[in-house]
Structure 1
Amino acid sequence: MEISHSDRDRRSSADSAEPTPSRHTCHCGKSFIRKEHLRRHQATHGERNFVCPICQRSFTRNDLLRRHLTRHDMPTAPDPRRGRACDACHANKTKCDGGTKCTLCVKRGINCTYKHASKSSSGSKSPSEDTADPRTVANGFTSPALIQNLTPGTPQISPNDEIKAGFKRIANHVRSGEIPIGEDTPVPALDNNWIEGNSKEYFGRFHDTWPLLHGPSYVTMETSLLVSVSIAMISCWLRSPDEFEDVVLQLHESLMSAFSDWIANPRSRHEYDEPWPFETYQAILMNIIFAFYHGNERLVSKASLLRGTFVVALREAEFFNSDNAAEQQRVHYPGTFVPWLMTIRDRWKRLIVSLFKIDTYLSIARFQAPTLFREEIDLTMPATYSLWNAYGLNIFFKRITLEPTDRSNFKLSEVIANPNTPAKPLLLFEDIHLALCGLLPAIWNQTQIVRRSTEAGRSTQNATSSLAWQLEAWKADIERVKHQCFHAAEIGEFPFTAYIGDYDEDPVRAKALAMSNIKCLISECLMTYHLQGLQLYADPRMINSVAMASTVSPDHEAGKVEELCYTPSRFFVNANQISKQTSPKPNPSTPHPTSPSQ
């Protein structure tokens, strides 16, 4: 587990006289202060010898397998080392040297207790007995507010009640400032199990459309609390929105307010020499996307405002500049191990790409000009979904040989601006979708010009025709890649192989999930195509105003809408297609990217 900024600050304040310990570096470039953390990390580079008997997923460490088994509601064998560590070391998952006061507790100046060890050895534990000492929290520092003590007589609560209590507790800590924004605060041990157990829906449904996080390296205890709790929040809402609606929105609004305050606090230029608070950026974007999916008018409005200030803040940090990103990687994430370098590089790319997508969606939904422009996307084409979701180094090195290496030679901004790009043979649905999103500034601007020109009696047909041609050219690419994928699925070639995710040990299941992912991406591309066409051939803002305010009959209202269309026939074609795209489908595998707010 890497050491966060807050953890370093606490340790230095507890024992400022001690010299800074030397770091232990792995061959992949990651470094750790404690040697046992390095050994635990190095195990992730080894063979996956621990296999789940239910889903056949493999792990490099036995403790990860035992934690994973809780997702299947399976009992796990007791850890033979459990109970030997003091409470603080157990909560922090670090090696304890024992004694009346272990070395770690002495350094941190906290009480060294063995309540957990004695309860583990007794062989009978209740949920209340398994709760850590309130004076010693998950990350090993004194903060009584982070853990509420449960008395021995407290009855066992249901899993859903535990989740709700956890969401409420974290929401309160966010509001009070006990969970700081901009720092990689670790997940407290008290919350680890329920947060860990509520990531399935996120990675199973949300992640395919928004592959923002690197799933293979995601470990709850090594990920920022802001990211982990956002994953749990989205998962619970996708699984059971009625059950968790209130607590999810309570947490979401607390996070959004804290994010807004943090972004609004200006930072001096020299602070940008520090590592970008990447996981905070990811958590902000995840919550903006969640608000759009939820569709509540007030939440979407807040998300739209936060999106604007977030883009400006990233511009101020020169986040969109590829040279700055390369410098960040060289200084703060050094190394030569290929999987490590790819992960750091592509998480930057995918955050920008996801921000570009949600900016387009919010702009269309709010009848606004976009905030982020394709010309700002100073990055090369990202790695494929397949390489980004390679679970295990053996899988990664197998898939990298199938990767179209020429993709890294093309600037994404140039590719998506040119329907006749030389990179056409390398295009995937994600690239085409970004190209459709990139047309929004020109379409929005054209809508304003047409509105003014129509009032003045001037013709603007030429400009509209140019944009219409670009839309149709990209739609033809959707059909071309669709045909290639369906054909390549039979022989296992690119571009179909670009969408293989997990489950390499089950090729049939992997193929079915890849095909499902492809169909969702096709739907996403076509939806964006028709929405852009709707805006190009009509003025959606005026049509929306008529629909909201009109009290006339439906037949007369339809005639009024036709008057507001620049090209009525094309408008109704796109409107009809959007209606088909958004019609309910049984058991959707993923939430549709644009349906909530349209």
Structure 2
Amino acid sequence: MPPRLDGSSAQPAFRCKYPGCSMTYQRKEHLNRHMANHEQRERFCCPYCDSTLARSDLLRRHIRKYHPEREPPQSRARQACGACHARKERCDGGYPCNRCQRRGITCLQPQEVAHGKNRPQETQTSLNPDIVNSVPGESRWIAQDFIDIYFQSFHPTWPFLHRGTFELSKEPCILLQSMLMIGLWIKGDQAARDSAMNFHRKLLSAIEAQRSQWYISNSTPRCSNDTPWPMATYQSILLQLIFAVLVAKQEAPLDLNLRFQLPDTKYQLLTSLVETCRELGLFYYPNMLAKHHSSAPIALVWVNVEEIKRFGLALYKICRLCTRSALAGTTDSDSSDKRSELLTLSDLDFCMPDSDEMWNAPSSIGAESIRNAVFHQACRDNRDTDNWISQTSGKLYDSRVGLDWI
């Protein structure tokens, strides 16, 4: 402790104002430390032993040293959220913070970033997270920039992910990496597109290596109906196929039906995804409902059903844009086989999705607002099979007419 000054000292002094105490100090921080000894409310008692310390940081240090199995108390200092920390921006410490609210992104508290609170996992094997290292930047949290690009530029055209419930810290790695790939490609500069291509190659390799985790054929043993569908994996494969079309647009010619010719490996990935969805009955509305308990919140059921519907329409759109490469050796006589191996309108046993306004509603409206919207807006009656998209195929398709127009 610094020496006490006598009254004749010419140096500036800081005097203790506590009644009955005449201590003086040369520096104010020393006085503050002394004052803490007077005020018991400023004492910090260890909850795990009889030690008492003068400052909160000393208490945290004490617990880490002498009680390492215990969790030290949180600092009272405000900590930046995950997004602000990644960008090295000033964060107001609110939840959500003002910056995240203005940008329309999920605001993650520091403890959520550190502990990675996950939603129930799908029955799938996680892809190698080291792939993220191919993204330019010093932190994985820079990924948020490319996720923002995805939702701002790609999502309006391909709206099959639900932005309102999307949380960066909780989404499966395979989906995040596929979204990063799209965001990098849209960014447009050569370095970003090279990184996107690197993602594409590695993710395709990982998806193929883990084919047994997601591919279902007519000979695959059926799982229990309680087993959740790995929608994040299917969505990720769809993003890879969309990306393959973007690349094919630059590298491959159109066929006479004005469809992009995919390399054989990517076309097989497309047909495998279609076969899997068919075998699961993924696009059959009663099966969508059967994945939920009768007591499940209606907002959750609505989001999941809408997500599958929009995924189905996006997959159908890709099937309409693609064909097998001419190098695969197919002929015109194979046209009926081509049609059967790709998704058709007759496969879509559900109504059109509900409005984009409901689907794109911000997360701030909450589940209660979604529930009210589902009850009070003119939502489609999915139970009426006459309204299913598949019912239109009988009027729009005739096997005797070879014109490929739908």
Relative to the length of structure 1, the TM-score reads: 0.40
Aligned to 2:304: 344
| Distance change (3 Å), C-alpha of 1:239 and 1:90 | closer
| Distance change (3 Å), C-alpha of 1:213 and 1:191 | farther
Aligned to 2:43: none
**Alpha-carbon distance in 1 for matches of 2:240, 2:155:** 14
Pair 1:290 & 2:243 matched: yes
| Distance change (3 Å), C-alpha of 1:319 and 1:415 | closer
Structure 1 residues 101-500: aligned runs within 5 Å: 165-167=133-135, 192-263=140-211, 267-270=220-223, 273-295=226-248, 296-297=251-252, 300-301=262-263, 302-330=265-293, 335-363=295-323, 369-370=338-339, 371-391=342-362, 392-393=364-365, 396=370, 400=374, 403-406=377-380, 408=382, 409=384, 410-414=386-390, 416-417=392-393, 442=398, 446-447=401-402
- RMSD over aligned CA atoms reads 4.0
Structure 1 residues 532-571: aligned runs within 5 Å: 532=405
**Alpha-carbon distance in 2 for matches of 1:78, 1:299:** 51
C-alpha distance after superposition, 1:509-543 (max 9, x if no partner): xxxxxxxxxxxxxxxxxxxxxx939xxxxxxxxxx
**Alpha-carbon distance in 2 for matches of 1:407, 1:88:** 42
Q: Which amino acid aligns with 2:273?
A: F
1:261 deviation in Å?
3.9
| Distance change (3 Å), C-alpha of 1:418 and 1:199 | same
1:217 deviation in Å?
0.7
**Alpha-carbon distance in 1 for matches of 2:182, 2:245:** 12
Aligned to 1:433: none
C-alpha distance after superposition, 1:107-137 (max 9, x if no partner): xxxxxxxxxxxxxxxxxxxxxxxxxxxxxxx
| Distance change (3 Å), C-alpha of 1:358 and 1:385 | same
Bigger-Rg structure (1/2):
2
C-alpha distance after superposition, 1:317-365 (max 9, x if no partner): 22233222221123xxx64433222111111111111111111111499
Q: Which amino acid aligns with 1:277?
A: P
Q: Which amino acid aligns with 1:327?
A: A
Is the contact made by 1:71 and 1:197 (CA closer than 8 Å) also made in structure 2?
no
| Distance change (3 Å), C-alpha of 1:260 and 1:305 | same
**Alpha-carbon distance in 1 for matches of 2:173, 2:143:** 9
**Alpha-carbon distance in 1 for matches of 2:231, 2:167:** 16
User: Which structure carries more helix by proportion?
Assistant: 1
Is the contact made by 1:202 and 1:235 (CA closer than 8 Å) also made in structure 2?
yes
Q: Which amino acid aligns with 2:90?
A: P
Q: Which amino acid aligns with 1:212?
A: F
Is the contact made by 2:164 and 2:361 (CA closer than 8 Å) also made in structure 1?
yes
Aligned to 1:581: none
Q: Which amino acid aligns with 2:188?
A: S
Q: Secondary structure at the match of 2:377?
A: coil
**Alpha-carbon distance in 1 for matches of 2:129, 2:377:** 46
Unaligned stretches of 5+ residues in structure 1? 1-61, 81-86, 95-144, 148-162, 170-189, 420-438, 448-463, 465-530, 534-598
C-alpha distance after superposition, 1:270-312 (max 9, x if no partner): 3665111111111111111111122244993233221101111
Unaligned stretches of 5+ residues in structure 2? 1-77, 96-109, 118-127, 253-259, 327-331
| Distance change (3 Å), C-alpha of 1:258 and 1:532 | same
1:396 deviation in Å?
3.9
**Alpha-carbon distance in 2 for matches of 1:399, 1:385:** 12
C-alpha distance after superposition, 1:18-43 (max 9, x if no partner): xxxxxxxxxxxxxxxxxxxxxxxxxx
Is the contact made by 2:184 and 2:195 (CA closer than 8 Å) also made in structure 1?
no
Deviates more, 1:410-419 or 1:289-298: 410-419
Is the contact made by 2:262 and 2:324 (CA closer than 8 Å) also made in structure 1?
no
Which among 63, 66, 76 is matched to residue 91 of structure 2? 76
**Alpha-carbon distance in 2 for matches of 1:275, 1:243:** 38
Q: Secondary structure at the match of 2:160?
A: coil
Is the contact made by 1:378 and 1:411 (CA closer than 8 Å) also made in structure 2?
no
Q: Secondary structure at the match of 1:341?
A: helix
Number of residue equivalences: 274
